[in-house]
Amino acid sequence: GWNDVGYHNLAMKTPNIDKLAREGLILNQTYFQPLCSPSRHAFMTGYYPYRAGLQHLVIMPWQPVCSPQKMKFLPQRLQDLGYATHMVGKWHLGMCNWDCTPTYRGFDSFFGFYHAKADYYSHISYKYLDYRDNEKPVKNLNGTYSTFTFTSRAQDIIKKHNSSQPLFLYMAFPIPHEPLQVPQQYEDLYPNTMSKGRRQYSGMVSALDEAIGNITDQLRESGMYDDTLIVFTSDNGGSPMDHGNNYPLRGAKFTVYEGGTRVVSFVHGAGLQKTGEAYESMMHAVDWSDTLVAAAGGEPDMRDDGVSQWTAIAQNSPGPRTELVYNFDPDSAPEQGHAAIRVGDYKLIHGYPGLFPDWYKVDQQYEFNTEPSVLEMLEHTERYQLFNIKDDPTEQNDLAQSKPDIVKKLSQRLQMLTKNALPPNYPLVPDPKSDPTHFDNVWSPGWC
Ligand SMILES: *[C@@H]1O[C@H](CO)[C@@H](O)[C@H](O)[C@H]1NC(C)=O
Ligand SMILES: *[C@@H]1O[C@H](CO)[C@@H](O)[C@H](O)[C@H]1NC(C)=O
Ligand SMILES: *[C@@H]1O[C@H](CO)[C@@H](O)[C@H](O)[C@H]1NC(C)=O
Ligand SMILES: *[C@@H]1O[C@H](CO)[C@@H](O)[C@H](O)[C@H]1NC(C)=O
C-alpha cells in the first residue's frame, strides 16, 4: 500500500527500501491495475488486460485461462537481447497448460508458486500444494517461511551468474499478501501498533525489506551492484481488510480509485542520471516491458499499449504518457464491473469503483464487507465520477455534475481506446480437469 513504506510513513521500518528510494528516483505517478493477474499481465506483455480478456478480477486455480500466448513476455524479449532470465516468487498468470508457465514464457529458471497466494509455511494454496523448483513440485520445505527460501534462491542465482552475460532477475515477492504470517521477530518490530493484524502485516513488510537488503548485499559481494538497475513496484494498492494501508489515497486493492492503482514504486542504480528526486510523469504497468527493453538496448514494440519511459526516467525529464486506462470492464456490471480513464489531470470513473471505496486510516477498526453489496453495484452501474487528480489527488471532489463537457470528452476517449476490447475470459464453472487429485495432490499444468 501507498502508506506501507517508510518513505511515506515513518512508523514503517523499511530502511533498505527507503535508502534505495532516496538514492534513486521515486516514480510518483505510477499506476497498475487494481488486482494482481491483470497487473502482472500488463507488466509482462505491455498490453492492457482488456486486450487479453483479463480485465475481470483474477485468474482462479480452476479456470482454463492464461495470459494469451501470442503476447510476448518481457523475459522473452530480454532473452532475445542475450539476457539470462530468472524468476522467483508468485506467478498468477495462468498455469492450465505448461506453455502458460514461467519456464515456457521466457524464464531460464523458476522457483515459487503459480496461484494468487499460498500458506507461507506449508505452501498449500486452495487446499493443495503449489510450490515448484522449475517444473518439479517441492515437497521438502514444509515449515520453512517462503521469504527465506526465495531470498536465498535469489542470492544463489546472483552468486552463480557469470557477469559477462546480462541478467534479468524478477523477484515477485508475495509478501505482504494475506494470509498474514510472519516469524515473531518481525512482528516484534512494531510494539506500538495496536492491532495484531497490522503488527503482522507491518512485520511482513519489514521481512520483505530485509530480503531486499540481503539481495542487494549479494549484488555487492558479486561485484554487480554498480551495474544493476533495480526496479521496485507494488502490483496494486494495499488491502485494508488485510491491514494494508493507502492513506491518504482513496480506495484500495479492488478499486479503480487511486488507492487501488497508484502504487509505490522507484528505480535505482545503473543508467540513471538524475537521482534523489521524484519522477512526476504518468506511467502505467504496460510501459515497463518497453521501458526495460529500451534500458537493455532493445527496440520498443510499437503494437502494444506501452511506451518506453526509459529516456525520460534516465534524465528525469517529462515522460511521454498523457493518458491511461485504469480498467475497462463495464460489461461485467453489476458484477464489480467498472471502467476508468485518466487524460491529463482529469480522471473519469464509470460504474462501481470497487469493494473498498473510502479513506482508511492506519491501524483502525473498520467493518468491511467481503462481498460487494448488489444494491450498491446496481446504483453505480450508469454513474460517472470525475476528479482532477492534480488538484485533488485524494479524490474528495466529484466534478461530474459541474463539468459535463469533460465527462463527455473523457467517456468518448475511453470508448475510442477500448473499441477493440475483448470480453472478459472469466468462466464461472470450475473445470473439473484442474482437480489436483489427478496430479498427485499438487496444482499442476496439463489440463487445457
Ligand atoms: C508525490 O505526489 C504527492 C501528491 O500526490 C506529493 O505530495 C509529493 O510531494 C510527491 N513527491 C514525493 C517524492 O512523494
Ligand atoms: C506440514 O507440516 C505440518 C506440521 O507438521 C503438518 O500438519 C502438515 O500436514 C504438513 N503438510 C504437508 C503438505 O505435508
Ligand atoms: C564467463 O563467460 C565468459 C564468456 O563466455 C568466459 O570467457 C569466462 O571464462 C566465464 N567465466 C567463468 C568464471 O566461468
Ligand atoms: C538476511 O540475511 C541474514 C544474515 O544472513 C539472515 O539472518 C536473515 O534471515 C536473512 N533474511 C531474509 C529475509 O532472507
Residue 425 Cβ inside 6 Å of ligand 1? The answer reads no
Ligand 3 centre to CA of 163 (Å) is 8
Angle at which helices 36-45 and 287-295 cross, to 10°: 40
What is the C-alpha to C-alpha distance for residues 185 and 197, in angstroms, rounded to an integer?
15
Catalytic residue, candidates 8, 41, 56, 92: 92
Percent of the chain exceeding pLDDT 70 equals 100
Helix (H) or strand (E) holding 203: helix 196-221
Is residue 92 part of the annotated active site? The answer reads yes
Ligand 3 centre to CA of 164 (Å) is 7
pLDDT at 329 over 80: yes
Decide if 204 contacts 239 (C-beta within 8 A). Answer: no
Catalytic residue, candidates 36, 66, 96, 100: 36
pLDDT at 333 over 80: no
Report, as an integer, the average pLDDT of 52-67: 97
Is residue 36 part of the annotated active site? The answer reads yes
pLDDT at 335 over 80: no
Cell of 367: 467493518
pLDDT at 42 over 90: yes
Q: How confident is the model at residue 381 (pLDDT cuts 50, 70, 90)?
A: confident
How does pLDDT run across 404-421, given as a tens digit for each residue? 999 999 999 999 999 999
Residue with CA nearest ligand 2 atom 9 = 122
Q: Which fold, 15-322? A: Alkaline Phosphatase, subunit A (3.40.720)
Q: Please give the pLDDT value at position 363.
A: 85
User: Mean of the per-residue pLDDT values for the chain?
Assistant: 96
> Where are any strands of DSSP class E within 352-396?
384-388
Decide if 325 contacts 340 (C-beta within 8 A). Answer: yes
Decide if 293 contacts 75 (C-beta within 8 A). Answer: no
Report, as an integer, the average pLDDT of 27-53: 98
Angle at which helices 15-23 and 196-221 cross, to 10°: 60
Decide if 350 contacts 407 (C-beta within 8 A). Answer: no
Q: Please give the pLDDT value at position 13.
A: 98
pLDDT at 140 over 80: yes
Q: Please give the pLDDT value at position 355.
A: 87
Ligand 4 centre to CA of 62 (Å) is 35
* Cα–Cα distances in angstroms (integers) from residue 38 to residues 42, 328, 333, 423, in the given order: 6, 11, 18, 14
DSSP state for residue 426 in the 8-state scheme: -
Q: Which amino acid is at 355?
A: L
Decide if 85 contacts 79 (C-beta within 8 A). Answer: yes
How does pLDDT run across 175-184, given as a tens digit for each residue? 999 999 999 9
pLDDT at 334 over 80: no
Q: How far is CA 330 from the centre of its chain?
A: 22
Report, as an integer, the average pLDDT of 52-73: 97
Q: Which ligand is nearest to the CA of 5?
A: 1
Domain positions in the chain are 15-322
Decide if 239 contacts 252 (C-beta within 8 A). Answer: yes
Q: How far is CA 211 from the centre of its chain?
A: 18
Residue with CA nearest ligand 4 atom 12 = 211
Report, as an integer, the average pLDDT of 206-229: 98
* Cα–Cα distances in angstroms (integers) from residue 251 to residues 34, 283, 297, 331, in the given order: 10, 19, 38, 22
* Cα–Cα distances in angstroms (integers) from residue 259 to residues 1, 186, 237, 243, in the given order: 8, 26, 5, 14
Which residue in 227, 229, 226, 181 sits closest to 208, CA to CA? Answer: 181
End-to-end CA distance of the chain: 35
